[in-house]
Structure 1
Amino acid sequence: MVRTLSSGCYAPIPTFFDANEELDVDTFSRHIVYLAKLGMYPVVAGSMGEAHHLTPSERKTLIIAARKALDDAELVDVPIIAGTGVGSTRGTIELSRECAEAGADCAIVIASGYYAGALNKEALIKFFVDVADASPIPVMIYNYPGASGGIDLDSDTILEIANRSSNICGVKLTCGAVGKLTRITGGVSNMAFKTKNGEFLTLGGFADFILPTVLGAQAQGAIMGLGNLYPRAIVKLFKLSESLLSLSKSDEKWLSILEQALELQTVVSTADAIYGPAGIAATKATLQLRRGYGGNTRLPLLPCPKDKLDAIEANEGIKKANFVEKSLSESK
């Protein structure tokens, strides 16, 4: 059974390791269930998951573990997005097929960046279309210049890819370009596109612009690393943002909801601005501090220094975000 992706909040799950850098599958499974129960759905073996430090067999192990953990927790409808980009078209197709067999519902694929200087627009389009056409599960485009040799797909290129293959189901924009997101959403919202290709999710790659992209550009959500640390705050922010679309501005509730969303967006944006540059190691160290698991990275990534983590925890914006997350936990 392939589960269809829906609008909402997705977190790229860290890959947890023991002291010997072996997979800690039990912790990984526990973290996925914790987030999914709060409405934060998993992306396995993405950038936050140290995908390029994993073997193909390890990626499959994680997907199998994720599916089993979700099913055992009676979360059988929660979809799994799997990172399958490995550079070559052939390798990406092969891994997409293997991940589908392991239980993934969607493959998220980053542009092949090692030979970025030799790849023109048509080569990039062909890469994504070839992968999508050969994949047994839908494919999401992952636009992240920082991890793909500086390749930054523009809106015209992304729309061209989407129009050429009906198995392209969406895009994650870690370039952070709101204008690009708006143009893509506009390009896939017409009935002609939907009739030919079906639904297409346009997702931001950060938590710091959920409200403006959902309300202003009708984005369908986001995939963001911060979701591992503040799932309640982010899910509430998305729900508030989405609810504004269903209300008339003349509704007396509209302004009140907007004010709540703006306040929460400020809190989330502040935290995102700190954890984004701090990287994977800081997110893992914070999970270790707050939830008792997650601190080990796989070399060459080094663990987060204690003084760096202490500085993060002492930041007033982080204290505010922690307070909000705790308050939402206690209000349930």
Structure 2
Amino acid sequence: MKSSIRPVLSALAVAFTGYLAVAGTWWTRPVESPVVLVLTLVAYLAVTGLCIFWPSVPREPAASSTGGDAGMGRAAALPLWVALLGFAVALLLPSATWWGVGEEGRFQPFATWSLGGIGALMAILVVRRRYLVAWSGIAVMILGSIAWIGVPSTLSLGAVGSVIWVGGAQIIMLLTDRAAIETAELLQLQREASEWLATQEGRRRERRVRIQHALAVAGPVLSRTIAVDGDLDDEERLQARLAEGRLRDELRGPRLLDDEVRRGLEELRRGGANVTFLDEGGLDGLGERDLLEIRRELASVISGASSERIYIRTSTQPGVAVTIVGRSRGEDGDEDVDLWHEIARPAAR
């Protein structure tokens, strides 16, 4: 959108400044130094054209910029030396014009056009993000005008309009910059929402696949249990308990499972242990390589466990990925912790 608007704005700036400059060539009475007037017009048009058509480049985003601000790639400010040329025109052009027309012509339109012309040039500098130079140019133009034609004439012949142009241009720039930042922030939020939805969809798809796999394994045993209304022999009860455990594991902690971990969990349950297995999101942000290391250590720990109750849960603590706790009934009848192992988060190793 910016690339399509820029030619339109440039054309408007050229047309407006050209219209103001034409007033400077419309001499309705003799002037004292026509060469000076022509040179001032040429200098004005040259510097104005340079300020309008100097190529704009994207501004380098600051390291501390937010995604909204950096994402828009706003144009960098006009080079300082070009802006200073505009300031020099604002400083010299009005005085040169009034000197060139002579004392009797200072209040004529071909002499006072410079007030509007400088206002237009300073408004262009505002659009090119040289606010301080633009306001400085307006200030020196007004002071010079007061010195040549006085305060009342300065205010009535164009200085007020120039101040309004520059002020309006700066307000518009501030509003458009704010709108650009808010648009970029909205786009960033939309991207993040799309990524989150894609992640959730991927997890749902993965969970469906795992559930289908678990049901394929546990389905026959569970169907048999339902068919006989729970009237199972010891082996069938064991198989049903193992099938239920496998199904719970696939639902509650799929990212912690691989063949070795599944085998270790089944051995624990065959030995009579009650295993609680739960992933509550503590592994978010870890890559597949990190998860592989965690699964390998988890399989090693549970392969040597002998506790009656084993709790395996992911941790939200910064340095811990998984906590494994084992409890067994002691001689006094109370449960004691006989296994405690924390698997460090790979980034904290």
State whether TM-score is above 0.5: no
- With structure 1 as the length reference, what TM-score do the two structures score? 0.18
Please state which structure has a larger fraction of its residues in helix.
2
- With structure 2 as the length reference, what TM-score do the two structures score? 0.17
